[in-house]
Structure 1
Amino acid sequence: MKHLLVVDDEAQLLLAVRINLQARGYDVTVAADGAAGLAAAARRTPDLVVLDLGLPDMDGVRVIDGLRGWTTVPILVLSGRTDSWDKVEALDAGADDFVTKPFDMDELAARVRSLIRRSEPENTTGPVIAVGNHLVDLAARTVTRTAEAPADVPEAVRLTRTEWAVLEILLRHPGRLVSSKQLLAHVWGTEHEPEGSYLRFYLARLRQKLEPEPSNPRQLLTEPGMGYRFQPLETVGKT
């Protein structure tokens, strides 16, 4: 049985989330503030953390920082904030996905299933693929700079589980159009597909991390109204 830790200061929401997740077969521990959440995680490492950003004792990003200091457990952020910067900050700190309040319990459960599934080790192999100034190793799940990269390119790039899931399906179909529906089903499952805005958000983050000119992408391409395409380096610029 998977063990989940839910950290939120809204008592009614915390109760509803606990009941719903328990009904789906999870063992659920709850905490009403950041300090209690960190202590609960230290006592018993969860398989996934559901974390509200607006906690009474500390910002949720500080909780993410505290967890990421010693564990790679998947973190699903709950946010009632409308500013997308709050979500970006949480993802940059190490969160893996987010759900905006108010949310549907079926959506939350689908995100939990998806993150747990992607966190389990797989016996997969894969090539090393050049994306911008980086080498993406699909088997090792690492992104490192190429030998020819400019000095300001970081040695390594961290991708969240959701970013990996989006990137991997594109890289495994080089040059081919992958429809938005295919991507949504692959990343979030067929049980509950989020809106296409999630894909736009994650593609923008991948371009920011991997493309030399994120506003003018050459490899992680959008096909308006259809989907997305990964263009291998050796064909970029050719006619």
Structure 2
Amino acid sequence: MKKKFIFNAFAFVIVSLFFFSTTVLAKPVLKTIKAYLNTITLSYNGKSIGISTIKYNNVTYVPLNKVTDLLNKKVITTSKGFEILDKSNIPNGSKVTSLPASITIKDVKVTITKVEQDSKALKIYVAYTNNSPERIDPAESLVKVISNGRQYEYDLSFVLDYMDKYRDEYTSYPHAPSEIEPGVIADSVILLPPIPNIEKNVRIILRANYEYYTFLNVPVTIN
């Protein structure tokens, strides 16, 4: 069933094919825009899905993520916009046999040198090597640790509390800058709250330069 929508106009309208939803950005009213909501069915290799679409100026816009899912593709965010990858070619992670262990993606190498946990914190010792021609963002607040089927993440309030209680110890650790210039190696220690009954080997996901670095079976030293 087709539903007709009339939007009191804005000079600037973006139907966000690439942002997975429809967005209308506002400026002073200049004209009336007529658009239509509809549902269509797309089929590929025997698989069919229903997709809500918008038709405007005889052009039908569909959500990009729905189409890529149907085609077994994945949309990822990069520094230059969006990139579509074949899911079958996306690595599930690099299995670690010993530390240090490294993963390199697009000239950016991330190395885990050591992982320790004591009563105060879980500490992940990391080195970033930027061999790319552009500065990179290590995005350490997006770190994830998987243990015993549970996911643990960065906690800013915990880090601030740690800084207050153990200031000398905290300042003795290296901390990567928010942006790492080309040709630079930056060391860092990422702090997370202690994980209850942490496994001897965990999965660690780090983020750098808009890419996920997944380390599997990372050994943890318990102090």
Q: Would you say same fold, with TM above 0.5?
A: no
Greater share of residues in helix: 1
TM-score, normalising length from structure 1? 0.27
TM-score, normalising length from structure 2? 0.28
Task: Say which one has the larger Rg.
Answer: 2
Higher relative contact order (CA 8 A, sep 6+): 2
